[in-house]
Amino acid sequence: MQASDHWNLEEELPTEVEDAYASDYLTPELQSLFRYEHLHRGGEHFVLSPRLVYGFAREWQGKVAIPFIFGSGDNTGSGTVSLEVLHQFTQEFTYSPALAFAISLGLPSGVRSHGVDTGLKIIGTKALGKSYLEHRIHINLAWNHNTDPNVNERTDRYAAILGYSHPIPLDLVLVMDFAREQELDRARTANLVEVGFRRMLTPVSVVSLGAGLDVSKEFPGFRVTVGFQYSFE
């Protein structure tokens, strides 16, 4: 699956949901996103997150990501090196989805980072049409463990995401999702509604654009994300 496979959904490019398919075997892919966030308490975040993804075995991929956080909001975690391994362990059939799991480590390399944080995600993808390129439903369930939390931080956080994707036309993919996520702050649980588009720019590159609105009554906020992917053939 090269970057030109713009229907292959990647986390935060441009929405939170991702699909169950690993990246192309032995093909490195450079990914990057820039996101603006208007926070629930009036602050702002500017997030730049470069990543390197590599399909080191068939149905397996590794990812290294380093997000940098700027702006008037809390920048805890900025510069944290994140390592992730994803494995697709079942194929999609007529009545069963493709399934994958991802295991991640957050190293104590960022701002106010302590300990090695861990994460586990279960991902499911199922096509509803005759082809996997038609209407697709995606489910992501995630758990993250904070090894050394501060007083106002959660030790364990959970997230559930329901997503949908569909090409309109073939070189442009519509992505929509609803994500309910416990944030690091004990007082915050986000209910995020997102919509975005992924477009094949060249045979080896994809651009994406998305927007999200936190519909939580207590803590409204919004975000805009621009992403780019490039495969080294």
Q: Please state, as a whole number, how many other Cβ atoms lie within 10 Å of the Cβ of residue 155.
A: 11
Out of 3-7, 173-177, 222-226, pick the least confident: 3-7
pLDDT at residue number 162: 98
Task: Report residue 186's pLDDT band, with 50, 70 and 90 as the boundaries.
Answer: confident
pLDDT of residue 220 exceeding 70: no
5 pLDDT more than 90: no
pLDDT band at 142 (very low <50, low <70, confident <90, very high): very high
pTM for the predicted model, two decimal places: 0.92
DSSP one-letter code for 78: T
Contact 127, 135 (CB under 8 A): yes
Q: Which DSSP letter does residue 144 get? A: E
Lowest mean pLDDT among 66-70, 77-81, 137-141, 147-151: 147-151
pLDDT of residue 182: 92
Using the predicted structure, report yes or no on whether residue 1 has a pLDDT greater than 50: no
Instruction: Provide the pLDDT for residue 112.
Output: 79
Query: What class is the 29-231 domain?
Result: mainly beta
* Ramachandran angles phi, psi of 78, nearest 5°: -60, 130
In angstroms, what CA-CA distances link 199 with 8, 59, 173, 187?
11, 24, 6, 37
Q: Report the amino acid identity of residue 209.
A: L
- pLDDT given at position 156: 95
CA distance 224 to 209: 8
Examine the pLDDT at 88 and tell me if it is beyond 70.
yes
CA distance 14 to 174: 10
Beta-bridge mates of residue 142? 121, 159
* CB neighbourhood size of 133 (10 A): 15
d(CA 36, CA 78): 15
The per-residue DSSP string of 185-229 comes to BTT-EEEEEEEEEEEEEETTEEEEEEEEEE--SSS-EEEEEEEEE
Look over the chain and give the mean of its residue pLDDT values, rounded to a whole number. 90
